[in-house]
Amino acid sequence: MIDMRDIGVCVLAGDLASEELPMIAAQALAEGLDSPSLRELAGLSRGEYREARELLDQVVDELGLHQLPDEDQAVWEAASSCARRMVSGAISPVDGAHALAAYAGSLGFPEPLATFAFLADLWEDNAAERAQLEQDMVREAGAMLRDMGD
C-alpha cells in the first residue's frame, strides 16, 4: 500500500517529481486510502505541480501520518532508507553509493555521506578493486546506520 508520508519524503528529497503526485494519489485512492485532499490531489493535472505539492501536506495531516520533515531531514531519511536497502542487499552497493553521493551533494557533503562519493569514484576508476570497494560500501552503510541509531 502506498505510504503518502514516504511519497512526501521522496518529493522533498528530490527523488520524485511533484508532477507525479496526482497519479500516485489516484493509485492511493484505488488502494483504499481516502481523504478530501487526497481526492483533490488525484484530480489535478501534471501541470498543477505547485498545487500538488501544497496539497501533499494536507493529505499527510488528514491521513493522520507524521508531519513531513523539512527538506534536509527528508534527504537524511531518504539516505537512511537507501543505506538500509544496501545493507539488506535490495540494491547493489554501487547503486546505493551513487545515490548516497547524490544525497551528500544536496546536503553539502556531510561526513557520513561524503564517504560514499569517494567510494563511488574509486569504484568507477578501479575495476580490479570493485569487489572490495563494494564490501566497503556496505560496511560504511551499516556503520552510518548504527551511528544514526537506525
d(CA 93, CA 26): 33
Q: Are 75 and 140 found together in one domain?
A: yes
Place of cell 557533503: 109
Name 49's Cβ contacts closer than 8 Å, sequence gap at least 6. Answer: 17, 18, 19, 21
Q: How many domains does the chain have?
A: 2
| Residue 139 sits in the same domain as residue 76 | yes
Identify the pLDDT of residue 18. Answer: 94
What is the tens place of the pLDDT at every residue in 76-123? 999 999 999 999 999 999 999 999 999 999 999 998 899 999 999 999
**Claim to verify: residue 107 and residue 57 sit in the same structural domain:** no
Burial 29-56, CB ≥16 within 10 A → b, else e: beeebebebbebbbebeeebbebbbebb
* 143 and 78 part of one domain: yes
Does one domain contain both 30 and 9? Answer: yes
149: pLDDT confidence band, cut at 50, 70 and 90? confident
Q: Is the pLDDT of residue 13 over 90?
A: yes
Q: Domain containing 82: what range? A: 71-147
- Same domain, yes or no, for 111 and 90? yes
